[in-house]
Amino acid sequence: MSARWKQTATSEELLNRAVQNFKATFNVEPAGVYSAPGRVNLLGEHIDYCGGTVLPFALPQRTFAAMAPRADGQVRAVTAQGDAGAAASGGEVKSVALAEVEPGKLSGWLSYVAGVPWAMEQESLGSLGTLGADIAIDSSVPLGAGLSSSAALECSVAVGFDDLLSATDSSRERLADTDSGRAALATACIRAENEIAGASTGGMDQSISLRAQQGAVLAIDCRDFSVKPLTIDVDSAGLAILVIDTRAHHNLSDGQYAARRASTEVAREALGLSSLRDAFSGTPTLAAAENLLADWDSRVESLNLPDSVDRGVIRDALHHVWTEIARVEECVALFSGGSVSAETWARLGELLNGSHDSLRDQYRVSCPELDLAVDAARVAGALGARMTGGGFGGSAIALVPSNEVEYLAESVAAAFEKADFTQPEFLVATPSGAAGKEG
């Protein structure tokens, strides 16, 4: 069974397409073109909103936004990946007055676009006044694949508005010129997604899209969003990270993600913690996580939990969150010591496996397609595999020997054909750079 490899446009092609779409739609040249990457999360799923550390890296696949300022406070936008899959040379123009943007008012992709300048003003990152923008969007980040297409869209627009604001005010420094400024832009994008788009996000996706470093995995401590680059050099080890897009599309605004997050909030409030990460008194380990669970079991009846809460669901959520936090800490330690051996890579594979098993069995955010992708990859020789992203569909990743990538992809494709699932698509992930101005 031959594997289907994702055919995505190059950055140069996307830039040119975005510019041509902009000119065809708005009859003027754009003032600038901005891009932001999608991401893969190596390890640390569903713990960004619990104060854990996560290990994402940026993908080469990017979203491009060609933009020009307007003086009437309107945002007019067109996308080559619209709700109905509009063609790159046209498509429906959607518009909104920024003064009218507020939570609950917008839906669809325009909410991710217009929510960004709204959130930037809410965060005091710039006074928009009557500034608006015409925007043409094009992207190679797969939609609904769990690779953070929404954050790539938000972050490309954020660096664009950051640039337009500074162009109209010579005293304002571009936030994108510093890491602290990029962290502030990420905060605005998080607000845009949570409050305007209505899709719950913990902030990992926006942080990596704006703060990624070429060739590095970024350890992001989600308590304060401090970052530490990690060199996890799979190429030198003769390995590769294979992304398997199951093409079982997910939608994080449908309530399931929010329900899982709500269960962790119930536990956090019952324990009186600022974050579930703070339950650990020292460095998180798997043994310490088991001790925390035993302590929870001994105290659960005395805790002030709402009667409507399923205590088993809460316990399972804690099991995933605490063990996942510990898995990430172990991974960071493995790749912070200098020497990396075959045993190090084997242990990383085990951590990936443990993460997926927990997401499937305790957090219950997997699905049959993701489970089959992971199981088939493991059987075919992957050192480890797991779902990546919010779940309920989307993508899995597998750590595989470089010389077996094709065989492993074909094995997964054959398993999908046997199960009568839609054929998956594959790409090899390489850590890439952050959002920025392209032209």
Instruction: Of 29, 34, 73, give the one whose Cα is nearest residue 157.
Output: 34
- State what percent of residues in the chain have pLDDT above 90: 89
Residue with tokens 């990383």: 348
Q: Where are the beta strands (DSSP E) in 47-149?
A: 53-54, 56-70, 74-79, 94-97, 132-139
Q: What is the DSSP letter of 421?
A: P
Hey, what are 133's tokens? 């923008």
Dump pLDDT digits (tens) for 151-170.
999 999 999 999 999 999 99
pLDDT at position 84, please? Answer: 34
Which domains are present in the chain? Answer: 8-226+433-437 (3.30.230.10), 232-429 (3.30.70.890)
Instruction: Of 85, 97, 76, 100, give the one whose Cα is nearest residue 26.
Output: 76
Relative to beta strand 4-5, strand 425-429 is parallel
pTM of the model: 0.93
**Helix, strand or coil, per DSSP, at residue 154:** helix
**Helix, strand or coil, per DSSP, at residue 69:** strand
Q: Out of 83, 205, 278, 297, which one is annotated catalytic?
A: 205
Mean pLDDT of the chain: 94
Hey, what are 114's tokens? 């217009």
What lies within 8 Å, CB to CB, of 213 at 6+ separation is 229, 431, 433, 434
pLDDT at position 339, please? Answer: 84
| Helix 342-361, helix 368-379: angle, nearest 10 | 150
**Helix, strand or coil, per DSSP, at residue 208:** helix
Annotation marks residue 375 as catalytic: no
Contact status, residue 33 vs residue 15, Cβ threshold 8 Å:
yes
Lowest mean per-residue pLDDT among 24-33, 75-84, 380-389, 400-409: 75-84
Residue type at 166 in one-letter notation:
S
Contact status, residue 160 vs residue 65, Cβ threshold 8 Å:
yes
241 has a pLDDT exceeding 50: yes
| Helix 311-334, helix 342-361: angle, nearest 10 | 170
338 has a pLDDT exceeding 90: no
Instruction: Identify the burial level of 370 via C-beta atoms within 10 angstroms of its C-beta, where 0-12 means exposed, 13-18 middle and 19 or more buried.
Output: buried
311 has a pLDDT exceeding 90: yes
pLDDT at position 236, please? Answer: 94
CA distances, 355 to each of 44, 222, 273, 320, 350 (Å): 8, 18, 24, 8, 9
Lowest mean per-residue pLDDT among 41-55, 154-168, 301-315, 413-427: 301-315
Rounded to whole angstroms, the Cα distance separating 396 from 384 reads 11
Integer Rg of the chain from CA: 22
**Helix, strand or coil, per DSSP, at residue 27:** coil
Residue 82's pLDDT band (boundaries 50, 70, 90)?
A: low
Lowest mean per-residue pLDDT among 14-18, 87-91, 113-117, 159-163: 87-91
pLDDT at position 162, please? Answer: 99
- State what percent of residues in the chain have pLDDT above 70: 97
86 has a pLDDT exceeding 50: no
pLDDT at position 251, please? Answer: 66
